[in-house]
């Protein structure tokens, strides 16, 4: 079994969440740095996927995880996932810097169009959805509404917190159990 951690916008595969997951899960956890283009990121991730892959996606990575999980029938853990990044990332068009290494990149308007092409209707696969009500970037209630009635989704809302979900360590046992179940 392999797990792929899909980082969020302006993040990297070497952040705190990926380190915590690698250290705790005690299994093959891939934590790649994704291309900035959504189309290239999806193509890159598709090359890594095997039939027994489990996806863990945070923010924009959660959007990618929903798309890929549904397409390839994979389980997915979503951490404060972005549901409509083609809307929430509009204001970021222009020069940006990655958090992990301050690498400069151009977030292009066409990337928003690329994002819109990927349908993310959670339907047939199992999800563990971790939300924090204090997410200052994405509205957790929209995600809660989308997943709470799905029998194939377990949704956990922690009151407080923030978009970065900094206390991921408190949920590692739950994530591991979901992956192994």
Q: What is the pLDDT of residue 27?
A: 83
* DSSP type of residue 83: S
Q: Give the residue, 163 or 147, on which the prediction is more confident.
A: 147
Per-residue pLDDT, averaged over 78-106, amounts to 95
Task: Phi first, then psi: give them for residue 84, nearest 5 degrees.
Answer: -140, 65
Homologous superfamily (CATH) for 2-180: Alpha/Beta hydrolase fold, catalytic domain (3.40.50.1820)
Task: Phi first, then psi: give them for residue 66, nearest 5 degrees.
Answer: -60, -50
Burial class of 162 by CB neighbour count within 10 A (0 to 12, 13 to 18, 19+) = middle
Contacts of residue 38, Cβ cutoff 8 Å, sequence gap at least 6: 64, 111, 114, 115, 118
- List the domain boundaries for the chain: 2-180
Q: What is the pLDDT of residue 19?
A: 87
Report residue 25 as tokens: 């899960």
Q: Tell me: pLDDT of 134 over 80.
A: no
In angstroms, the CA 148 to CA 143 distance is 8
Mean pLDDT for the chain overall: 92
| Cβ-contact 140, 132 below 8 angstroms | yes
Q: What is the pLDDT of residue 35?
A: 96
In angstroms, the CA 65 to CA 82 distance is 10
Q: Give the residue, 16 or 57, on which the prediction is more confident.
A: 57
Confidence of residue 4 (pLDDT cuts 50, 70, 90): very high
Could you write out the DSSP letters of every residue in 12-26?
Answer: -TTSHHHHHHHHHH-
In angstroms, the CA 63 to CA 135 distance is 16
Per-residue pLDDT, averaged over 55-81, amounts to 96
Q: What is the pLDDT of residue 155?
A: 94
Q: Vertex 52, ends 46 and 56: CA angle to 5°?
A: 65
Q: What is the pLDDT of residue 131?
A: 92
Contacts of residue 138, Cβ cutoff 8 Å, sequence gap at least 6: 59, 80, 81, 82, 83, 88, 163
27-45 tens-digit pLDDT: 889 999 999 999 999 999 9
Q: What is the pLDDT of residue 31?
A: 95
């Amino acid at each position: 079994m392999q797990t792929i951690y899909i980082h969020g916008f302006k993040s990297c595969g070497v952040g705190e969440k990926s380190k915590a997951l690698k250290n705790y899960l005690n299994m093959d956890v891939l934590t790649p740095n994704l291309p900035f283009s959504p189309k290239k990121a999806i193509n890159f991730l598709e090359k890594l996927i095997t039939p027994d892959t489990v996806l863990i996606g945070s923010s924009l990575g959660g959007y990618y995880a929903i798309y890929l999980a549904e397409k390839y029938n994979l389980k997915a853990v979503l951490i404060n996932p972005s549901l409509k990044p083609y809307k929430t990332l509009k204001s970021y068009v222009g020069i940006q810097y990655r958090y992990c290494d301050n690498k400069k990149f151009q977030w292009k308007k066409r990337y928003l169009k690329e994002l819109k092409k990927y349908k993310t209707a959670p339907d047939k696969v199992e999800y563990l959805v971790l939300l924090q009500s204090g997410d200052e970037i994405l509205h957790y209630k929209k995600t809660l509404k989308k997943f709470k009635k799905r029998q194939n989704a377990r949704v956990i809302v922690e009151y407080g917190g923030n978009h970065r979900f900094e206390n991921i360590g408190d949920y590692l046992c739950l994530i591991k159990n979901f992956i192994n179940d």
